[in-house]
């Protein structure tokens, strides 16, 4: 697990955003690296691809339509920088469209069984690498703008309201992977703090979801069960 360094007096808005961005970097990198490996089942790749497409779209749509307006209301001067980030979201959507369009199929054909399998993996690898590169570049542009804005212009109450709306509208696609990736990018205390915001009925399910995620991530990394 990658252990994050402690951040003194870090607002929840920055902590949660930092961890989410860590998940995006790690997950997009994993898909690009796993796609061409014949040992990784197509079904595992499809699950990660679908998780990424749905969650990345949801993430930047909630920023564009909810978080950015909150920041601009408090600091109109932030609009120009946030608008530039939204333009990058449009370009990211094009890369996500390409990734979503790859017809992965299923695991009915043995891994590495022939040309069709190789072609699927090559197409998936190309599309996943494009998303990875777009995400890494975008976050490098976004964080120097967004983190100060979250500290200076979003109150804890506003962030809690925004965060709860995000949780309530998050697509239910392979959500256990989010827990697994969070465990890799955050400290146990940070992850516990973030998962505490989940609806109460989900809390007893977290240990099982964590185990499922760990197993799926082992498969994606080629280490099996």
DSSP three-state, residue 3: coil
Digit-coded pLDDT (tens) for 138-173: 999 999 999 999 999 999 999 999 999 999 999 888
Cβ-based neighbours of 185, under 8 Å, separated by 6 or more: 2, 4, 19, 22, 23, 25, 26
Which band of pLDDT confidence, cut at 50, 70 and 90, is reported for residue 8? Answer: low
Is pLDDT at 6 greater than 90 in this prediction? no
Query: What domains are defined for the chain?
Result: 12-172 (1.20.120.520)
Chain-centroid distance of CA 193 in Å reads 18
Tell me, what's the pLDDT at 118? Answer: 86
Using alpha carbons, select from 134, 136, 139, 123 the residue that is nearest to residue 46.
123
How far apart, in whole angstroms, are the C-alpha atoms of residue 132 and residue 53? 11
Structure tokens given for 95: 């890369």
Is pLDDT at 9 greater than 90 in this prediction? no
pTM of the complete model: 0.89
Using alpha carbons, select from 136, 124, 98 the residue that is nearest to residue 37.
124
Digit-coded pLDDT (tens) for 105-151: 765 544 445 567 889 999 999 999 999 999 999 999 999 999 999 99
């Amino acid at each position: 697990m990658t252990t994050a360094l402690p951040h003194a007096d870090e607002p929840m808005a920055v902590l949660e955003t930092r961890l989410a961005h860590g998940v995006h970097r790690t997950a997009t990198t994993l898909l690009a690296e796993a796609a061409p490996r014949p040992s990784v089942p197509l079904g595992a790749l499809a699950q990660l691809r679908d998780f990424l497409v749905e969650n990345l779209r949801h993430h930047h749509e909630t920023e564009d339509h909810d978080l950015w307006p909150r920041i601009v209301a408090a600091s109109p001067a932030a609009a120009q920088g946030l608008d530039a980030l939204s333009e990058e979201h449009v370009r990211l959507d094009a890369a996500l469209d390409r990734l979503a369009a790859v017809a992965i199929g299923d695991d009915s054909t043995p891994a590495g069984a022939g040309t069709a399998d190789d072609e699927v993996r090559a197409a998936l690898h190309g599309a996943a690498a494009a998303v990875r590169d777009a995400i890494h570049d975008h976050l490098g542009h976004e964080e120097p703008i967004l983190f100060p804005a979250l500290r200076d212009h979003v109150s804890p109450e506003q962030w809690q309201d925004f965060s709860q709306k995000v949780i309530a509208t998050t697509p239910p696609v392979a959500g256990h992977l989010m827990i697994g990736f969070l465990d890799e990018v955050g400290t146990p205390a940070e992850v516990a703090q973030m998962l505490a915001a989940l609806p109460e009925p989900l809390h007893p399910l977290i240990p099982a979801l964590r185990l499922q995620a760990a197993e799926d991530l082992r498969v994606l990394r080629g280490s099996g069960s």
